[in-house]
């Protein structure tokens, strides 16, 4: 039996990080798609000439529900939205 002694440190902890770049594309896709959704929502709001309803987002949702040919105009009041 031969015992060999080697100089150095034993039991040191080393951390290895493996980055999977495929998962970074998920973040990039989410950022790009949310920016596109925001831009499309802004364009649609400008196209329909929707008024600013700061108190309720429900009024903005109801603004686009009129059918073609049945448009009564711009919904500016709560009574118009109920009609």
pLDDT tens digit sequence for 10-63:
777 788 888 888 889 999 999 999 999 999 988 888 887 776 666 666 666 666
What is the distance between the terminal CA atoms of the chain, rounded to a whole angstrom? 97
Residue 12, phi-psi category: left (phi > 0), alpha (psi -120 to 50), beta (remainder): beta
**Structure tokens of 35?**
């920016």
Comparing 3 with 26, which gets the higher pLDDT?
Answer: 26
In angstroms, rounded to a whole number, what is the distance separating the alpha carbons of residues 55 and 67?
Answer: 25
This prediction's pTM: 0.47
Cα–Cα nearest to 83, from 68, 57, 65: 65
């Amino acid at each position: 039996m031969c015992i060999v002694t080697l100089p150095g440190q034993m039991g040191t902890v080393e951390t290895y990080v493996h980055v999977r770049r495929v998962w970074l594309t998920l973040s990039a896709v989410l950022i790009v798609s949310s920016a596109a959704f925001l831009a499309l929502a802004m364009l649609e709001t400008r196209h329909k000439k929707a008024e600013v309803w700061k108190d309720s987002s429900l009024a903005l949702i109801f603004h686009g529900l009129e059918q073609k040919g049945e448009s009564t105009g711009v919904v500016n009041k709560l009574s118009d939205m109920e009609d």
